[in-house]
Structure 1
């Protein structure tokens, strides 16, 4: 937290100084433009050439001030983003205020676990971890939380996260550049579509004319200035119009080649800066060096190529300026030459551009995982095994603040399936979510909220939160049975990790008991690992039949001074206390 405070003050000071410089430059620009107008007026009134020369000099000064102002504005936006990054982290750590994107659009009630475990949405794991500012970064982070990775990928990702966790300045630099690029899914899809479109082509005759006619026009114009010959003047005018006609022939193609976003050159420029940072960084982890090698091939850097494309688009977009369009194209077919440069770039790099964006997004997602590791130095990187072993020491839920978090040990190496019992509000569902969420983090390559963990890459299936579907005329019970059927079928095909919370709630108690026991017996016939939470003590007796596979765990509650007391500490055995009647009596219901 102290680091964020120091960085916030540092960038706040720089931002303050830049703001003062920006204000001074704005004032000087106004004074300069007024001076230009006044001196030009004096030149017209007095015909004194000195006023004209001074006016011209002030025009040059105005251009310099414009360029300087734009440079300061970029730095101002960059340092404002850095300020915001550190302010957001301080608010998150000190006040628990979470202003980060929650990824709600990735919510899917049919997903094997994301809906049940609140991976997306307000106060979700995604929002807790997410520090991405781009669409590609956010999408990559969502995908690694939604799809478990292989052992090899997880280990490489862990190594990269470890390396980046200590690089706070570099991580924030990448984050700030992404923030000011201000891209979106729409921008990315348009750019993707542009990459897949066949580039417009110039015939050899058109290329020849794009050079020949402007050269002839230049000689004709010089000749007219020297001779003032009327015929030469007409020829010059004709060539000027011909240049415009040759430009207009390709104007439609130019519109097709311009990605329909008024800020695409700005976005590309910032991504060029991001990729340059990645290219120049000295990495040691396998994953990051592999990504870096994709950006630098045959001594050609992706950042240079993207910055060239940004410059091409910026030039091409000046077609909207009527003055530039007429003068520049009338003189030398300016936009035809820019279009040729875009076409050459597209033929050479279009297939690589989206991959370069994806690399930037992957690094941004890794930075998010690294930021989580940095903010939580007590979290552990889980050991990844290939023996289908799962064990956690001092496991807690990362979304519960440390001062309130109660941690528990859980070991699935001796008994691979646990039946968890406990009274209402004792912590059963929270613990199931704790296990599930940490498995999702482990499979993504992130740290987990535990002192020690060993896990195996395995599909996770959860049945905790189901809804009935009115559109499909589907009852809650039928939806749950379908979910259980899917889980059992997947468990029969390969090892999976299963979390079930009070299943078959939509039927009577006898059916519920026999059905739950049937599901448990069906699951343990496979190589599945997992846990089921239940109030039904009859289900717990199944452990006597399968002592090598099943184990009973419990959460207890005590009534002290006529009040319920929960310690949320898991114990061996079957729950002995109940509290439903007591709670209803306390509330005056019975």
Structure 2
């Protein structure tokens, strides 16, 4: 009796300690969620995995940012700042959302964002649930959305005959012991097939358990209230119920990061039984075949969880120290209104105002004066307006646009292309968009820097006039002052400038209306202590060529 009492006390103690440990972990997790609210992640980012969902799911889309534009705006650095998701599913969903601006003028996430902003307890409970999908294995759920998961070998149907013979031998060997020798032969064969199949099983080592987690998380979220209730999601969960039942046969021995509570001996015996009767082989091919027919249900759950997690991420972004606003969308016309616009990745970035009406914009300015930063600020906020409906400004009013850019171009030495040919190819892609039915935003930093002055100016004028057709909006920065007069009827002129104080250049990085009246290239040489003879000759040649005056 005493042993029973001691045993009962021991069990109670173990259960208590387990409960305390679980509560402690939950409290720690909640503390981390609360401390990270409104702040960027400190995680490392594996974009090869993060981008998989956007690459695999080829749904109809309004626009996808080109490789050139993602390079121009440092898209990956921007994503690292924007991303506040709690799960890998949400992270992949957010990546697809950011790289594919939409034509919708209403944000479908806005009601959820407001809910999560106002209800901290609900939001944190959902974040804890979402964190169950924060294991790196959750990245592999997207692999289950491929058209073909696993190809059956031609001889697969022979395995059914193998199974029938094996069962027959087991029964007959009771009466005819000599058949045990044949039985051992078949068991050896099946053991070989079982471990041969492990190569197939390995590719689903992460995706199957994480899909199971996705289903379970969806089950919890769909019961969180009317805002989360969705009949289509409930149907998708029901549709994948048989997967959860079958995957258990494989998960008994798959190391998915959670150690089995079964003892080593029991685990090994189960593995033998599965090998002898080809349980895992049959289960794997049945599961993959079933999932191929249920991709829509998997994607429904993926989008459902990703949408919720992304809404929390946007709420966290807006709760940060950075000033943000909701964009205002207008009908298609050549118009933009930007108030206190700034670049979110630049600390203490100077804010700028700009109103575009009927004309495009040509910006001149000295080196280092802020032209490129302004261009990036503008296109980044245009993209964010049509993805997460959050802009870093006091006001951002714009028509729905497709964003294209040519700001940062490098010599492609491996392909043997010169800088000029790189520019030609990029510009050709922009020109191809001019006559499309949609309104475009073209953001350019210089046009044809890689060729001689006369042909550069002539080509730039022709191209900028062509890009400006219809209701397209072109924002271009240039050092070629000659373009200002050539494009005066089509482009309004703006500039960035600087002052000299205590023999040093000072930039206010503020865009100003009108034409630039000074240049600073020779002045920078002077401030860098170049010989007086060099400075004098450069100024004389500049004057003889009809250049504008330098900064005094």
TM normalised by structure 2 equals 0.73
Distance 1:310 1:365, change over 3 A: farther
Structure 1, unaligned stretches of length 5 or more?
Answer: 1-49, 218-230
Q: Deviation per CA, 1:385-422: give whole Å up to 9, x if none.
A: 34244322221111123xx232222222x134101122
Name 1:31's counterpart in structure 2: none
Query: How many residues align structurally?
Result: 502
Name 2:75's counterpart in structure 1: 119
1:176 aligns with 2:176: no
How far the C-alpha of 1:73 sits from its partner, in A, is 6.5
1:155 aligns with 2:93: no
Name 2:293's counterpart in structure 1: 351
The 3-state SS of whatever aligns with 2:492 is strand
Name 1:504's counterpart in structure 2: 448
How far apart, in 2, do the equivalents of 1:565 and 1:429 lie? Answer: 17
Contact 1:137 1:364 in 2 (8 A): yes
The CA RMSD measured in Å over matched residues stands at: 4.8
Contact 1:191 1:259 in 2 (8 A): no
How far the C-alpha of 1:497 sits from its partner, in A, is 0.5
Of 377, 386, 394, 1:443 maps to 386
How far apart, in 2, do the equivalents of 1:247 and 1:74 lie? Answer: 42
How far apart, in 2, do the equivalents of 1:246 and 1:68 lie? Answer: 48
Distance 1:577 1:163, change over 3 A: farther
Contact 1:194 1:257 in 2 (8 A): no
How far apart, in 1, do the equivalents of 2:466 and 2:220 lie? Answer: 53
How far apart, in 1, do the equivalents of 2:169 and 2:14 lie? Answer: 34
1:387 aligns with 2:332: yes
The 3-state SS of whatever aligns with 1:115 is helix
Distance 1:390 1:157, change over 3 A: farther
Name 1:300's counterpart in structure 2: 238
How far the C-alpha of 1:510 sits from its partner, in A, is 2.6
How far the C-alpha of 1:491 sits from its partner, in A, is 1.4
How far the C-alpha of 1:258 sits from its partner, in A, is 3.8
1:580 aligns with 2:521: yes
Distance 1:519 1:298, change over 3 A: closer
How far the C-alpha of 1:361 sits from its partner, in A, is 3.6
Task: After TM superposition, list the pairs within 5 Å mapping 1:215-226 onto structure 2.
Answer: none
> Which region of structure 1 is more displaced relative to structure 2, 577-586 or 435-444?
577-586
TM normalised by structure 1 equals 0.69
Structure 2, unaligned stretches of length 5 or more?
Answer: 56-63, 532-552
The 3-state SS of whatever aligns with 2:447 is coil
Distance 1:74 1:321, change over 3 A: same
Task: After TM superposition, list the pairs within 5 Å mapping 1:83-102 onto structure 2.
Answer: 83-88=31-36, 92=39, 98-101=42-45
How far the C-alpha of 1:526 sits from its partner, in A, is 3.8
How far apart, in 1, do the equivalents of 2:427 and 2:111 lie? Answer: 36
How far apart, in 2, do the equivalents of 1:315 and 1:109 lie? Answer: 43
The 3-state SS of whatever aligns with 1:490 is coil
The 3-state SS of whatever aligns with 1:585 is helix
Name 2:476's counterpart in structure 1: 532
Name 1:144's counterpart in structure 2: 97
